Structures are given as C-alpha cells and as structure tokens.
Structure 1
Amino acid sequence: MANPRAERVAKRVQQIVAEMLGNRLKDPRLELVTITEARVTGDLQQATVYFTAHNEERMKDAERALNAARGIIRSEVGKQLGLRLTPTIEFELDRLPETARSFEDVLAAARHRDAQLARQRGTEYAGDADPYRKPREAEATAAAERQFETNTEATAHREAAAGAQAEPEAQAGATASAESDNAGER
C-alpha cells in the first residue's frame, strides 16, 4: 500500500468500522472484538478489515456477525468516506496476536534453556559483566591519570628546587658561622 491516499482511506475505514462496533452494532457476539488494521487496494475498490477477539470461540462468532453486518458497515463507510465508489469490505481474522504469543513462548523456552546450560557449566563472566567501556568513563579515567602524573611531576620539581635552595643557604650559613668563629678568635 505505497499509495498515500489508499493509506488514508484505510485508516479512515478502520476508524469507521471500530466506531460502528462500539456504537451502532448491538450484536453481543461483537462485544470483545478489536479492529486491528484495514487495508485498501490502490484503486480503492476493495477493503480488507482485520479483527481479533478475546478467545477462539468468540473469533468464529465474531466473523459470522461481521459478515452478517457487512452491508450496514459498507453503507456507513460509503457515507462517511464520500468516495465515488464505495469499496467492498471483507473481514479477516488477524493472526498476528497468535504469532506474537508463539514467538514469546519460543523466546521464553530459549531463555530457560540458556539459564540451565549456564548453571550446568558453572560459567561466569571472564571479565566485567559489561565488557564495553563507556566513552565518558574512559575519558574520565585518562584525565585522572594525566592529572596524577602532572601533580607527581610538579611535586618532584618543587622538592628538587627546595633542595637546591637549601644547599646554598646551608653553605652560606656555614661560611658565616666559620667567619664569626674566626672573628671571635682574633
């Protein structure tokens, strides 16, 4: 359905049929019926409306009820759409929920088997549970390491400079005391 107009008409058909199920059609077989999708051909002549119901027995009854009300639904669709020709309407049971449930069952079984295998093997992660380093964490770690190296180098330079200043002062102090000793002897 690549035609944008056909897509718009299909959405509108879905809305109209859903509104009719909720407001106009009073058949008890249609109480828990949901319209899931509508598709319209490119020439807007045929519309297929997909529906689902609460359980399997209700689906068959709902299909019979929708087919019985097809004429009323089609006339309402024609009035509200305002097209030159009203599309014929077919109702089909939507199998997507059943397919989704079967996929969920398969995935649950696979997860269960994986958990059993992991317990049997006694496996653990070789490294971290999350082996991928986050970019910000890596940058923060690198910045902290650079800061530490810079601080260490600065401390070493200060200590070396302080030690170099202490030596001439010590020598000057020793010379001054030696001179004072010599002066005291005179």
Structure 2
Amino acid sequence: MSQIRVQKLSKQIERDVTDIIMNEIKDTKVGFVTVTGAEVTSDLSFCKIYYSVLGGENRREAATKALLRAKGFIRSELGKRMSTRKVPDLIFEIDESIEYGNKIDMMLADLRRQGKM
C-alpha cells in the first residue's frame, strides 16, 4: 500500500478512535484519555494508537486498563466506519511527549524566576 494512503488511513483511524472513545465508551476512566496519534503498518495488520492521560499515575493506570478492556469494542466500531476489508489490530501506547514538554516548561520557568535565563 502506498505511503500516502497509509498516512491518510492513520489520520482517519486517529479521528475515528477519538470519536469512539469520547462518544461510544461509557467507562468514566477513559474520559481522561486524549488520542495524540496513530501509525498503521503498510500491510494494515497493526495500528499503534498513541494516547495521553490527564492526571497522575493512578489515572494513567486506570485509563490504560479501561482501554485494554474496550479494545475489542473499539476495533469492531472502527471496522464499521472503515472502508477497508481488513481492520488492523490495535496496540495502545502511552505518549509521554506531552508530560516531557510540561516538565521542560516548568524547568525553564524555574530558571527564569531565579534570574538565570
């Protein structure tokens, strides 16, 4: 499959999974999840869904468990929305780049307050 088609499909899956999580899943633990990206393999067998969770470590663990429980439902709903014959297997991975960026922002703010910048 062409790289452009795979990229378009990744973006469509990202939008659809976000919509499914926000509107279809009733588990309150998933309410703190934000889908930040999706990467589909070229043979459409797997799709990594990157997500972040607001809150502390406890919310992250609860949201991860809730997503894993809802994985089959999300995949079946995704299959209804996709125009391909094959629905990729979903792999959920935490995107820690937002937390990393916030940590760097806090460090820079501390340096500014101390007058070192």
Q: Could you tell me how far apart the structure 2 residues matched to 1:103 and 1:63 are?
A: 25
> Unpaired segments of 5 or more residues in structure 1?
118-186
- Give the aligned partner of residue 34 of structure 1: 34
RMSD: 1.9
Question: Is 1:48 matched up with 2:53?
Answer: no
After the TM superposition, which residues 96-111 of structure 1 pair with which residues of structure 2 at under 5 Å, given as runs?
96-111=97-112
> Unpaired segments of 5 or more residues in structure 2?
none
- Give TM-score, length-normalised by structure 1: 0.57
Structure 1's consecutive aligned runs of 4 or more residues displaced over 6 angstroms after TM superposition are: none
- Give TM-score, length-normalised by structure 2: 0.87
- CA change 1:39–1:78 in 2 (3 A) is same
Deviation at 1:70, TM superposition (A): 0.6
Bigger strand fraction: 2
Bigger helix fraction: 1
Deviation at 1:55, TM superposition (A): 0.8
Give the structure, 1 or 2, with the largest relative contact order (CA under 8 Å, sep 6 or more). 2
- Give the aligned partner of residue 72 of structure 2: 71
Q: Could you tell me how far apart the structure 1 residues matched to 2:116 and 2:83 are?
A: 60
Question: Is 1:88 matched up with 2:89?
Answer: yes
SS in structure 2 at match of 1:31:
helix
Identity, % of aligned pairs? Answer: 31
After the TM superposition, which residues 95-134 of structure 1 pair with which residues of structure 2 at under 5 Å, given as runs?
95-113=96-114, 115=115
